[in-house]
Amino acid sequence: MATPHLVTTHRVDTAIGRRAETARSFTITNTLKLDAKSELDALERGLLAPAASIPPKFFYDALGSTLYNAIVLTPEYYPTRTEAAIFEQYRSEIAQTIGTGKQFVDLGSGDSVKAEKWFASLKPSRYAAVDISETAARDALERLASNADAPTLAGLITDFSRVLDVKAVMSDAPALFFYPGSSIGNFLPDEALWFLKQIRAHCTAPGSGLLIGVDAKKDSARLDAAYDDALGVTAAFNLNTLRHVNDLLGTDFDVRDWQHRGFYNEALGRIEMHIEARREVTVKVRGAARRFVQGERIHTENSYKYAPEQFAALLVEAGFAAPRCWQDARGDFSVFYADAQVA
């Protein structure tokens, strides 16, 4: 049986002089609403598990999104500005490598600003914003739609960390998948390979490919600082997850009972973020009571770091051609473009 989709159509009108002209209309397909109960059930199971966890997608309520935007401005957090600098320095070269006129599939689109900066050089025929937040996607598409020169626009609200299926917003044209920000690092390595294989499976038209940003391995002190900044913005971002869970599940977490822990696990090659109990505390989780001892942690995020050759090999294993790679002068961050090997 086909999965049902909730589809809404939006039309944006702009006034030009005395004339009102329709700039663009777009559709948003929402598959996330249909899975809300299972998502909350999984969240409950994670909290009640012996090693408690909260998936990182629950960082992003309204306050969490605002705090994340503040994190990227802290001096310690280098990934966002380093990736942006690579894009700016090599934009023409990267665009020449990719080619123009493809449909642009933006995974984790957010405000779509990163993607929009590519429109002039890549001239996409279609732009698909794929995000877990309908509010963010709608706001971004409405802004883009106000430009009469915008490509064809569509939005898909889904949780692609579970299964990637974006065919509902794709055409038959060659596709450029865009996955910046080293979000691939949130997956375990075997999950990252599985996710890359799913992207590759969507690249059915010759000329399709993937443009992706990946954080590199480096000195652990710099990584520790990036995820535990002096101002405490990352700590607030992590702790706010408890407030969000309270809203979603009716739990009674008190953030004053908890503290942020963020550090680089060199043996596993990943940043880990946890929320640690300052004292023994019991939390109501729906009909259950979950006791946490002092020092017990709730695991909220991993962020794996990859040497360039390590991630290039992962792309090839997923079915892509050997990629091109661009880095900053210090080698802190890598941007890869990989063509899909379409027979």
pLDDT digits over 29-70, tens only? 998 765 678 889 999 999 999 999 999 999 988 899 899 989
Q: Are residues 81 and 188 in the same domain?
A: yes
**Unique residue bearing structure tokens 């009640």:** 48
Q: Are residues 174 and 294 in the same domain?
A: no
In a domain, 9, yes or no: no
> Dmax of the chain from CA atoms?
67
**Average per-residue pLDDT in the chain?**
92
Q: Are residues 176 and 296 in the same domain?
A: no
Beta strands of the chain (E only): which ranges? 6-16, 19-30, 103-107, 126-131, 152-157, 175-179, 209-215, 258-265, 270-277, 281-285, 288-292, 297-304, 324-327, 333-339
Give the alpha-carbon dihedral of 11, 12, 16, 17, to 10 degrees: 90
In a domain, 223, yes or no: no
In a domain, 258, yes or no: yes
Q: Are residues 203 and 251 in the same domain?
A: no
Q: Are residues 293 and 311 in the same domain?
A: no
Q: Are residues 105 and 191 in the same domain?
A: yes
Q: Are residues 201 and 134 in the same domain?
A: yes
Lowest mean pLDDT among 14-28, 35-49, 166-180: 14-28
Structure confidence at residue 233 (pLDDT)? 98
pLDDT over threshold 60, residue 310: yes
Structural domain boundaries, residue 275: 34-74+235-304
Residue, of 171 and 13, whose pLDDT is higher: 171
Structure confidence at residue 15 (pLDDT)? 37
Q: Which of 144, 90, 117 is nearest to 336 (CA)?
A: 90
Percent of the chain whose pLDDT exceeds 70: 92
As a residue count, the chain comes to: 343
Amino acid, res. 46: G
pLDDT digits over 251-265, tens only? 999 999 999 999 999
Q: Are residues 171 and 309 in the same domain?
A: yes
For the entire predicted model, the pTM comes to 0.90
In a domain, 166, yes or no: yes
pLDDT over threshold 90, residue 21: no
Q: Are residues 263 and 311 in the same domain?
A: no
**Average pLDDT for residues 85-107, to the nearest whole number?**
98
Q: Are residues 150 and 171 in the same domain?
A: yes
Structure confidence at residue 37 (pLDDT)? 83
In a domain, 12, yes or no: no
**Average pLDDT for residues 77-97, to the nearest whole number?**
97
**pLDDT class for 250, splitting at 50, 70, 90?**
very high
258 strand-pairing partners: 277
**pLDDT class for 6, splitting at 50, 70, 90?**
low
pLDDT digits over 176-220, tens only? 999 999 999 999 999 999 999 999 999 999 999 999 999 999 999
91 strand-pairing partners: none
CA angle 32, 34, 35 (to 5 degrees): 70
Q: What total number of domains does the chain contain?
A: 2
In a domain, 28, yes or no: no
**How far apart are alpha carbons 169 and 5 in whole angstroms?**
11
Q: Are residues 132 and 46 in the same domain?
A: no
Q: Are residues 158 and 39 in the same domain?
A: no
pLDDT digits over 114-156, tens only? 999 999 999 999 999 999 888 889 999 999 999 888 999 999 9
- At 202, which CATH number? 3.40.50.150
In a domain, 7, yes or no: no
pLDDT over threshold 70, residue 9: no
Lowest mean pLDDT among 26-30, 86-90, 97-101: 26-30
pLDDT digits over 143-152, tens only? 999 988 899 9
**Average pLDDT for residues 84-113, to the nearest whole number?**
97
Structure confidence at residue 22 (pLDDT)? 47
pLDDT over threshold 80, residue 241: yes
Amino acid, res. 28: I
Structure confidence at residue 183 (pLDDT)? 96
In a domain, 296, yes or no: yes
